[in-house]
Amino acid sequence: MQKMPNIMRWTLALWLSVIPLVGPASHAAADTLIENVSVLPMTGFGLQTNWAVLVEGDRIIAAGPRSEIAVSADVERVDGDGGVLLPGLIDMHIHLHMDRPPAEIARDLTLYAAFGVTTVRSMWGSDGQLELRVAVVHENQFAPSLVLAGPGFGKTFKSPDELSAMVAQQTKAGWDLIKVHWKPTAGQFDAIMAAAKSEGIEASGHVPYAVSLDHALTSGLRTIEHMDGYIRDMGAEGGPASDAALQDAAARTKAAGAAVVPTLFAWRLYLREADMDEVMAMPDLAYVAPAVAEGWKGRYSESLMTWAKNWAFALIGERDVSAIAANRQRLLRAFADGDVAVLFGTDAGQPYVIPGVAAVREMLEMQDAGLTNRQIIASATAAAGRHLDPSGNLGVIAPGARADLILVAKNPLDELQTLSAPLGVMLRGQWHDSTEIARLLSAITVR
Ligand SMILES: [Zn+2]
């Protein structure tokens, strides 16, 4: 592990002082039994009534009918009060901006956890994240587990040799994956992909502007973020894409074994297809510092939007954003119909995409696109879990799986909105009830 600069130690100490600690990580906890619940295990079975889940350390050790689970006398019991227990949500595309006051970073982490997002994949690496990933687990913070893409290569790289060295360095430093951005040339992209392959590290991200979708797919890009590369590839920016083109895109993706992270809500904002008055009045903004919200407002102001649109049209030609938005929805549906791995992601951390709170917003967008609630929840649990942990021990309720759980009032297969108010969250085996969650949320409510 690299030596931490002093400033980093200081910052880390500050984080530790502002992120809620929820008890010693290493106490010899009794097993926890969550009972009086229905369970949605996301292992291929539907809702199981009158089940219980037994947890030891950070692992599920049993899940089944209550009568079949033997427990010791000192087991800690959680009464689920007839609610529905499902795996914690996994957000595969977030941004954890580290150039902010520690309290702001802590607020993000609290929001994810409070809204049942128990794992996040940060898609842009920056200083302090590797240390934070460790602290979250070791200090037992009320925060999701972090999966970290390394720093983007930006415009700073030049030769293939330099790129190989950077990929090797990021692998050695412990980043979980390499982030591919829009900007590399075809040669640079090839160098990144070759180096990632030889280092045995995942490379995921955008389809760079300079390469075709097929080039990206056959090069082994594992997850493709935002779907914009598909819209470009299909030339679907000026009118409706054909069904054949959509199905073909899905078939090529399936054949390549790549997964797609759609980020519909964020992209409706970027495309200016969202009603900005409505967005700026979202109750979610209760968790955003007023100065930050003002900054966002500026970025989405009418005059700036008009300027940006004219600039973009002059540069790349006129686009029909409504057609693009509609094609994005149809494309997502084609992926789901074509059995492509769709992985849930919000792009949280970007303006108006608020950590944790954005999860249900994104789910409702996916529902609008025509996905079933089961497909949507699978994208945020079992499917994302399988991508991050191919052994199958993440994103499901089954013996051996990490004990990341959410308790909600209703069956989310019938009603996704029930996920917006968790009654309890288990993070790596530690249970947090609704009273505690409410207290933590009220402590970070700013208006
Ligand atoms: Zn992003």
Nearest to 355 by CA among 177, 87, 50, 144: 144
Closest CA to 405 of 429, 435, 440, 374: 429
Contact between 90 and 118 under an 8 Å Cβ cutoff? The reply is yes
Predicted local distance difference test score (pLDDT) of residue 1: 36
Q: Which residue has the higher pLDDT, 311 or 230?
A: 230
**Helix residue ranges per DSSP H, 127-259:** 129-138, 160-173, 186-199, 213-218, 228-234, 243-256
Spatial CA neighbour of 107 closest among 71, 62, 83, 142: 142
Q: How confident is the model at residue 314 (pLDDT cuts 50, 70, 90)?
A: low
pLDDT digits (tens, 9 = 90+) for 56-67: 999 999 999 999
Comparing 284 with 405, the larger pLDDT belongs to 405
Q: Name the residues around ion ligand 1, CB cutoff 5 A.
A: 347
pLDDT at 157: 62
Digit-coded pLDDT (tens) for 166-188: 999 999 999 999 999 988 999 99
> What is the pTM for the complete model shown?
0.92
User: Ligand 1 centre from 57 Cα, in Å?
Assistant: 33
Q: Please give the distance, rounded to the nearest whole angstrom, from the Cα atom of residue 411 to the centre of ligand 1.
A: 30
Tokens of 92: 């595969």
Distance CA 194, CA 301 (A): 42
- pLDDT band of residue 239 (cuts 50, 70, 90) is confident
CA of 348 to the centre of ligand 1 (A): 8
CA angle 180, 253, 169 (to 5 degrees): 25
How close is the Cα of 400 to the center of ligand 1, in Å? 31
Residue-range domain boundaries for the chain: 18-87+398-444, 149-388
User: Who has greater pLDDT, 323 or 381?
Assistant: 381
DSSP 96-156: ---SS-HHHHHHHHHHHHHTTEEEEEESS--TTHHHHHHHHHHTTBSS-EEEEBPPP-TTT
pLDDT tens readout for residues 416-438 = 999 999 999 999 999 999 999 99
Q: What's the CA-to-centroid distance between 82 and ligand 1, angstroms? A: 37
Ligand 1 centroid distance, CA of 407 (Å) = 28
What CA dihedral angle connects 162, 167, 168 and 171, to 10 degrees? 160
Q: Ligand 1 centroid to 349 CA: how many Å?
A: 8
- Contact status, residue 105 vs residue 95, Cβ threshold 8 Å: no
Mean of the per-residue pLDDT values of the chain: 90
What span, in angstroms and rounded, lies between the C-alpha atoms of 378 and 42? 7
Q: What is the pLDDT of residue 403?
A: 98
Q: Of 125-139, 203-217, 264-278, where does mean pLDDT reach its minimum?
A: 264-278
Question: What is the whole-number distance in angstroms between the Cα of residue 95 and the centre of ligand 1?
Answer: 6
C-alpha 347 to ligand 1 mean position (Å): 5
Alpha carbon distances (Å) from 435 to 87, 223, 422, 439, 440 = 20, 37, 11, 6, 9
Tens of pLDDT, residues 243-274: 999 999 999 999 999 999 999 999 988 887 88
pLDDT in tens, 194-209: 999 999 999 999 999 9
Query: Can you point out the beta strands (E) in 214-312?
Result: 223-225, 259-261
Tell me the C-alpha distance between 182 and 207, whole Å. Answer: 6
What percent of the chain stands above pLDDT 70?
89
> Does the pLDDT value for residue 158 go beyond 80?
no
CATH fold group of domain 18-87+398-444: Urease, subunit C; domain 1 (2.30.40)
Both tokens of 303, joined, read 């005059």
- Banded pLDDT at 236 (limits 50, 70, 90): confident
User: Percent of the chain scored above 90 by pLDDT?
Assistant: 78
Q: How is residue 196 written in tokens?
A: 């990632």
The CB density around residue 73, as the number of other CB atoms within 10 Å, is 5
| Predicted local confidence at residue 26, as pLDDT | 41
Tell me the helix, strand and coil percentages in the chain, rounded to 5: 45, 20, 40
Its CATH class, for the domain covering 149-388, is alpha beta
Work out the pLDDT band at 398, boundaries 50, 70, 90: very high
321 confidence band (pLDDT: 50, 70, 90): confident
